[in-house]
Amino acid sequence: IDVYSTELREEWTLLLWTTVAVLVPVLITLWCSFQRPKRKVQLKDLFRKSKHGWHYTDLFNKPTYCCVCSQPILQGAFCDCCGICADEECIQRADRILSCKEIMTQSQTDGRFYHQWVRGNVPLASYCAECKQQCGNQPKLCDYRCVWCQTTVHDDCLSSLNDDLCDLGEFRSVIIPPYYLYQVNKLHRRHPDEYSKLAAVCGSGWTPVLVLANTRSGNNMGEVLLGEFRTLLNPVQVFDLSELPPSKALQLCTLLPPGSVRVLVCGGDGTVGWVLDAIDTMKLKGQDQFIPLVTILPLGTGNDLSNSLGWGAGYAGEIPVEQVLRNVLEAEVVQMDRWKVQVVSKGNYFRKPKVLSMNNYFSVGPDALMALNFHAHREKTPSFFSSRIINKMLHYYRFNLELDGEQVTLPSLEGIIVCNIGYWGGGCRLWEGMGDEPYPPTRVDDGLLEVVGVYGSFHCAQIQVNLANPVRLGQAHTVRLVLKSSRMPMQVDGEPWAQGPCTITITHKTQALMLYHSAEHTDDDDSSASEAEEPSADHIDTASNTQETVTVS
């Protein structure tokens, strides 16, 4: 009986400890899950009031140490401007005792600018500026990094560093120094000539870059890029377009020397069009001399404009942002036509016509229907019409086409596409087709539109996989299209809608100054095809002269 009682007691003891071992982690996890929302609310309030650009993470992607207590941490917060890291218990203290990048500050009394050091968590494979040995290779909080020039130095080498002056590093020609903005803020008379005088202290060839990122484009790459660019540049020149529209972000150009600014748009073609519309608004305000050059880092789903200008069909972090900035500095200036699309509905002549800006292409028919269905699915809104009915209607000839005032005899087409650039439909060279037929060359600055027709959605698919040619209808300076169908899908630069009977007129609007990246091509097509889209030397010279004229005016 005693043996049986002992065994029974041991079994119950084992069962008890097993239950405790299972339940305790579960209870702790549940408690943490209930506390996390409350903790996040407290942190969010702290982050909103802080001068740091705090971001919370549940897991750091590399060995990280708290900049306050020096202990290794797996989760906590980091500042994407200055790079300091802290665990949850030390965030408030870190926010209080550790300074961030100052977007606007005066230089020292002797007119010089000194390093601003942050200790620990230096980038991998970084080397000491003094002894040239690798930094950050010890399993502890060690070594220093300058938040402006990204120079790294060992703890022991910091005191013996020969020069404590900061020259802003490799990207000094694109960074807006904090002391420049301080001097601008002190100006009694804000005039472009004064900005040019102040820019002399920034060195020759100073071409500041503004970064405008759409965090809703791409697979969360916008958020990542914002942090990486804030680390390299002055945070004041990096904008999140979900928080500030481009019309307001571009006003920073009016505080910089005329003709010197470049704008890097991180997003899809729609984001680029948004920025170019904001630049047109600057022209209406009489700010022509401050118009920036525009370049693209493609993040969205439709990147045909980026592809046409040599920046590729999409960015997924395959090259570091440092190389992106180098490419921007090496890019060539080109002009790109922009067009006005005016839609006048039949029977509504007294109503104000719908006016849109076009950079890429306009289309009516099968590809617009696909874009409309995709848009409706993405926005989770009911479809405007039945696709079956529309497809049936498209089998009939329902439109008249005029190119430069001349009527064009059309075959039995289901759709018409009007292109300004060489790429269409996510990377297809529409005007070129299979390349087995002679065709007039295309340029983004020739003031001409390329007009093609398609027989249906299957024909569109064949063109996209290079198995068929489009129906080339001609090139024109002005396109007029009369739609007779009761309801048809159409799109401008990927923005679709359903349209009843109407008259569409496409005319030249203006030209935008863009940056063309000629160092690499975006696909493996033959070089002759690439040359069709690449600007010639005369084209680049013309664009450069235009930019000089804008600068002088």
pLDDT of 61-107, one tens digit each? 889 999 999 999 988 999 999 999 999 889 999 999 999 998 888 87
Q: Rounded CA gap, 60 and 75, in Å?
A: 6
In CATH terms, 339-510 corresponds, of 2.60.200.40, 1.25.10.10, 3.50.50.60, 3.40.630.40, to: 2.60.200.40
Q: What is the pLDDT of residue 524?
A: 38
Q: What is the pLDDT of residue 331?
A: 94
Which residues have CB under 8 Å from 28's CB, separation 6+?
Answer: none
- Residue 282, classed as helix, strand or coil, is helix
Q: Rounded CA gap, 233 and 231, in Å?
A: 6
What are the structure tokens assigned to 58, written together?
Answer: 């549940």
Q: What is the pLDDT of residue 552?
A: 35
Q: What is the pLDDT of residue 390?
A: 41
pLDDT at 549 over 50: no
Which residues have CB under 8 Å from 30's CB, separation 6+?
Answer: none
Q: pLDDT exceeding 70 applies to what percent of the chain?
A: 84
Structure confidence at residue 470 as a pLDDT band (50, 70, 90):
very high
Structure confidence at residue 263 as a pLDDT band (50, 70, 90):
very high
Contact, 90 vs 66, CB < 8 A?
yes
- For the residues 470-496, what does the mean pLDDT come to? 89
Contact, 340 vs 355, CB < 8 A?
yes
Residue 61: half-sphere exposure toward Cβ, Cα within 13 Å = 2
Look at residues 417, 401, 387, 414 and name the one whose alpha carbon lies nearest to residue 493. Answer: 417
Q: Which helix (H) or strand (E) holds 45?
A: helix 2-49
Contact, 478 vs 405, CB < 8 A?
yes
> What does CATH list as the number for 173-330?
3.40.50
pLDDT at 37 over 80: no
- For the residues 209-236, what does the mean pLDDT come to? 89
Q: Can you list the positions of beta strands (E) in 227-385?
A: 238-240, 262-267, 293-298, 332-345, 354-358, 361-364
Q: Rounded CA gap, 482 and 400, in Å?
A: 5
The residue ranges of every structural domain in the chain are 173-330, 339-510
Residue with the larger pLDDT of the pair 538 and 276: 276
pLDDT at 540 over 70: no
Residue with the larger pLDDT of the pair 103 and 376: 103
Neighbours of 157 (CB within 10 A): 18
pLDDT of 499-524, one tens digit each? 888 999 999 999 999 999 985 444 43
Q: 373-388 burial, b for 16+ CB within 10 Å, e for fewer?
A: bebbeeeeeeeebeee
Q: What is the pLDDT of residue 385?
A: 37
Contact, 80 vs 53, CB < 8 A?
yes
Give the distance from CA 56 to its chain's centroid: 23
Residue 393 to residues 280, 473, 528, Cα–Cα distance (Å): 38, 22, 39
Residue with the larger pLDDT of the pair 379 and 27: 27
pLDDT at 302 over 80: no
- For the residues 101-130, what does the mean pLDDT come to? 85
In the predicted model, what is the mean pLDDT of the chain? 84
Strands 152-153 and 238-240: unpaired
Contact, 371 vs 387, CB < 8 A?
no
- For the residues 369-395, what does the mean pLDDT come to? 47
Q: 478-499 burial, b for 16+ CB within 10 Å, e for fewer?
A: ebbbbbebeebbbbbbbbbbbb
pLDDT at 38 over 70: no
- Residue 12, classed as helix, strand or coil, is helix
